[in-house]
A and B are shown apart, each in its own frame.
Chain A
Amino acid sequence: MRIIDAHTHPVFMHDGATPAAARRLVAHGRAHGIVKMVALGDVLVHGRLPSAAQCRRINDETAQLMRWHPDYFLGFCCLNPTLGARAVEREVERCVTQHGFRGIKLEISNNARDACMGAVMAAARRWNLIVLQHTWSQTNIHQRRFHSDPADTAWLARRYPDVTVIMAHLTGCGYRGVLEAKSLPNLFVDTSGAFPEAEILDFAVQELGAERILYGSDLPIRETSVTVGRVLGARLSAAQRRQILHDNAAKLFRL
């Protein structure tokens, strides 16, 4: 079984940024069949509104991982869109041209509907990058000013149909989130985050098709055996499991 983990934080709250820690993580991943990890950076280490310098430091750590294990980590560029178009453009260009990053990771600096997202999506279009937007149902959390609900991420994907968007955290997005994504072919959902709640993945496959779902763990917050096990435990065909665990990501990330 070959797996691509589309949602990891190998460095988390400063932990994991040494060569030995990276080696341990790669060994851990390989032991679970994970052949590649998308490294999204230590995205909340400086709070939800990192400065330009802090974004650079986060992305430099990701780049370091890619240098240590170039065959294993794919880097995504952590951004704070509220810093403005110039800062966004400069950091994306740096991450792509100097480090070969493949996507953009957006956390909770702003809501996906905010005007500042225009520069992010323009950069994604210019550099052919995938945009991974942290998303969670805001029905109970009430932070929508800066925290994207599935409806917000769906709005973003609808507004920019030529950019591929990943709506992170299937379980946190819930049944409503799956339905928000249904009509948007450029919107993918990853399985990362939350406990392995039963049936939601089965529902997502039924509504979206297996081809728009990516395996993600949210490691180290989540346990790899659990996040893989929830896919293996769902009522899916072998082909659907293979799509979710590997093939969709391989195609999307052009591997």
Chain B
Amino acid sequence: MLIDAHVALGPWPFAPLPERTAPQLVAHLKSHGINRALVSHLGAIFLPEPMPANRALFAAVCRTPALLPVPVLNPALANWREHLAACLAAAQIRAVKIIPAYHNYSLRLPALAPFVAAINAAGLRLIVATRLEDERHRYHALAVKGLPVAQVAAFLARFSATHMVCSGLYKPEIETLAVTHENFSADIAFAEWLNTLAVLTQKIPARRLLLGTNAPLFETRAQVDKLRLARLPARTLALIGSGNATRLFGL
């Protein structure tokens, strides 16, 4: 039983990746032992406002209970409250995702104060996507950089009462943030080193790590094996593989 906290549907314009339907994605994940997944739509990254992609997401997963929709919102847009209300009305959601770097705002954005308050009031978990890809060799015309870890740290300090999920952090970034901040969990999609999880759990409690494959951008088997073959107690693997997601997203 695994839960994937970092999966996407939809087209990725910069590589010939598989564009799966929701049932195909369920079958794909199941073939790797993943029973449930939190899914966003890649279209929300690039469209001028994310709702068309969110609506496509809701429509795609409405008959696949294994896929839990995570809409992407943009608090830099004037009508984010309207978008949040539309998402809450459209589907049973457990979390919303923000992608500041791709949506051209920083985590210092003043609107994030009412936004985080509204997310908390709605009983949702906030997922902060800090990066989506390796910037060294991606599409040449994209200038978007991953969120600086100092900016993430300031954000965590500013909203210290909110426990959020940071997605896309590198291993050293998780370790750095874990020293001073307890109000975040992280998926492991971008965390890698020899014996990743054994090393990482020395720096951050296992109850704050989540399986995330970053499919379809990353190879699912590779990401699952990072967890499956880690030399850790079964209880720890179960926490990272599903227990923490169950707790954090109220599944």
> Measuring CB to CB, which residues of chain A are less than 8 angstroms from any residue of chain B?
28, 32, 136-137, 139-141, 171-175, 194-201, 203, 219-230, 232-234
Annotate B159-200 by CB proximity to A: 1 below 8 A, 0 otherwise: 000000000000000000000000000000010111110000
Asked whether A197 lies within 8 Å of B217 as measured between CB atoms, the reply is: yes
CA gap between A226 and B220 in the complex, in Å: 10
Sample of 11 A–B contacts (CB below 8 Å): A28-B195, A171-B134, A196-B218, A197-B218, A198-B215, A199-B15, A219-B194, A223-B196, A226-B222, A228-B222, A229-B225
CA gap between A227 and B222 in the complex, in Å: 7
Given contact pairs A198-B218, A199-B16, A203-B16, A222 touches B137 in the complex (Cβ within 8 A): no
Which of A172, A200, A225, A227 has the most B CB atoms < 10 Å from its CB?
A: A225
CA gap between A198 and B133 in the complex, in Å: 12
A196-B223, A197-B134, A223-B194 provided; 15 other pairs, C-beta below 8 A?
Answer: A136-B136, A137-B136, A137-B137, A140-B138, A141-B136, A194-B134, A196-B219, A196-B222, A221-B193, A221-B194, A224-B194, A226-B196, A229-B221, A229-B222, A233-B220
Q: Which 8 A-B pairs have the closest CB atoms?
A: A233-B221, A229-B222, A220-B194, A229-B225, A196-B222, A225-B229, A225-B225, A230-B222
Count residues of chain B with CB under 8 A from any CB of chain A.
32
Is B230 part of the binding interface, using a Cβ–Cβ cutoff of 8 Å?
yes
Q: Is the interface of B mostly helix, strand, loop or mixed?
A: loop
CA gap between A219 and B192 in the complex, in Å: 10
Taking a contact as CB atoms closer than 8 A, the residue among A140, A225, A227, A234 that contacts B230 in the complex is A225
Is B17 part of the binding interface, using a Cβ–Cβ cutoff of 8 Å?
yes
Return chain A residues, CB-CB under 8 Å to B217. Answer: 197-198
> Measuring CB to CB, which residues of chain B are less than 8 angstroms from any residue of chain A?
15-18, 134-138, 140, 190, 192-196, 214-226, 228-230
CA gap between A195 and B215 in the complex, in Å: 12
Return chain A residues, CB-CB under 8 Å to B225. Answer: 225-226, 228-229, 232
Asked whether B219 lies within 8 Å of A198 as measured between CB atoms, the reply is: yes
Closest B residue to A198 by beta carbon equals: B219
CA gap between A203 and B214 in the complex, in Å: 19
B132, chain A: closest CB distance, angstroms: 11
CA gap between A141 and B134 in the complex, in Å: 12
